[in-house]
Amino acid sequence: MKFNELILRRFSTRKFKEKAVKKSDIVKVLDAARMAPSAVNYQPWHFVIIQKKENLEKLHKTYSRDWFKAAPAVIIACADHSQSWKRSIDGKDSAEIDVAIAVDHLMLQAAELGLGTCWVCNFDTERCAEYFRFPLHISPVALIPIGYPEDDTVPAKKRKPLEDFVHWESLDHSGNLHTPETD
Ligand SMILES: Cc1cc2nc3c(=O)[nH]c(=O)nc-3n(C[C@H](O)[C@H](O)[C@H](O)COP(=O)(O)O)c2cc1C
């Protein structure tokens, strides 16, 4: 699949078939995450794959939507703050940025394999860390339910037009997407 087709094919999947995900496909999506860029190439991430019923039930307590309960597997994407780059000028920790890029790689690879995913941020991170006994330097950033979409019709993308957020040279200048220099 071409890249521009793939980015349109990925969508937040909230209805899953009752079908287990092949382990080899899970490994493929994790390997795509592995290829993501990260600050100083520190790769400060961990991915915890949850498929067992009792562990899925723990996760459902951190995000109790019915659709989420139907996912056959969930990947907990974690930032490892002991391994991440911190910007010296202000101490900014890039762990969550790095994890976000890796998760995007993972979701796009999943879409190419016919798998659906959804980034879930609105969960109880403290409970999650407690249930899965994460040490203090590891924080859960996102839950990624993964499975075969019940309906793989791609919903229409609702996105702002470029004019709303592209600015040439200065934030004051917007609306003109073409510069004489680059046209
Ligand atoms: C950082 C982030 C947090 C999100 N959190 C949630 C969430 O907690 N629950 C949910 O159902 N979807 C969540 N989403 C999915 C967004 O709603 C979705 O990506 C957006 O509406 C665009 O739709 P699309 O992914 O189908 O293109 C999140 C997405 C991102 C990137």
The protein residue whose alpha carbon is closest to atom 30 in ligand 1 is: 119
pLDDT value at residue 182: 58
pLDDT category of residue 183 using cuts at 50, 70 and 90: low
Flag whether pLDDT at 181 surpasses 70. Answer: no
Kind and range of the H or E element at 126? helix 125-131
Tokens of 32: 């795509």
Pocket test for ligand 1, best of 9, 96, 121 (most atoms within 8 A of CB): 121
Domain boundaries, the chain: 3-152
Flag whether pLDDT at 175 surpasses 70. Answer: no
Tens-place pLDDT, residues 137-173: 999 999 999 999 999 899 999 999 999 999 999 998 6
Pocket test for ligand 1, best of 120, 128, 144, 158 (most atoms within 8 A of CB): 120
Across the beta sheet with 116-117, the strand order is 45-50, 73-80, 138-147, 116-117
Tens-place pLDDT, residues 105-135: 999 999 999 999 999 999 999 999 999 999 9
pLDDT category of residue 136 using cuts at 50, 70 and 90: very high
The protein residue whose alpha carbon is closest to atom 20 in ligand 1 is: 12
Mean pLDDT, rounded, for 66-92? 98
Q: Quick one: fold of 3-152?
A: NADH Oxidase (3.40.109)
Distance CA 131, CA 128 (A): 5
- Amino acid (1-letter code) at residue 58: K
Measured in Å, residue 68 CA sits from the centre of ligand 1 at: 13
